[in-house]
Amino acid sequence: MDVSVTLVASSRPETTAAVTRGAGRLLTALGYAPLAEVTLPNGRRADLMALGRRGEIFIVEVKSSLEDFRTDQKWQEYRPYCDAFAFAVGPEFPREILPQEPGLIVADGFGGAVLREAQAVPLAGARRKALTLAFARLAAMRAAGAPAVVLE
């Protein structure tokens, strides 16, 4: 039996959506409560921000392509707002170009896997409290269908 496979190239927005969905599913399976597209107090937008069972805050930056990574080097500006930071990329992403310090998640639209654990650097208590309260308010506002808010 002759079986042929046709690969269909995904657009950058489709790849971003699939990796975000898979990374979010992975975070949920790991016990985190993730929110997508969270605007931080510094004006940057985290692709995924998640709250852990013990109050730890995890930010994931999704990179859909080599071009996306090369043109967007603001990832270090997320570190002051989380205990742990990781990149999430698709299976075909050239992972060797990513910095070694952050964690690394490989994901598709169905789930993901942690290839490198995110290094934990605990937030100061006052910042954690402020971010946790803002995160909770944002989640509640989204659940109520209210307009988007910025974490403060």
129-152: per-residue pLDDT in tens?
Answer: 999 999 999 999 999 998 777 777
The pLDDT, as a whole number, for residue 11 is 83
The pLDDT, as a whole number, for residue 31 is 98
pLDDT band at 3 (very low <50, low <70, confident <90, very high): low
Whether the predicted model's global pTM rises above the 0.85 cut: yes
Domain ranges of the chain: 12-143
The pLDDT, as a whole number, for residue 76 is 92
Cβ atoms 134, 148 nearer than 8 A: no
Model pLDDT for residues 116-133, shown as the tens digit of each residue: 999 999 999 999 999 999
What is the average pLDDT across 30-37?
A: 98
The pLDDT, as a whole number, for residue 5 is 44
Residue 15 corresponds to which tokens in the numbers above?
């790849």
Cβ atoms 84, 103 nearer than 8 A: yes
Considering the four listed CATH numbers 3.40.1350, 1.20.58, 3.40.50, 1.10.3210, the one that applies to the domain covering 12-143 is 3.40.1350
Side-chain half-sphere exposure of 112, counting CA atoms within 13 A: 29
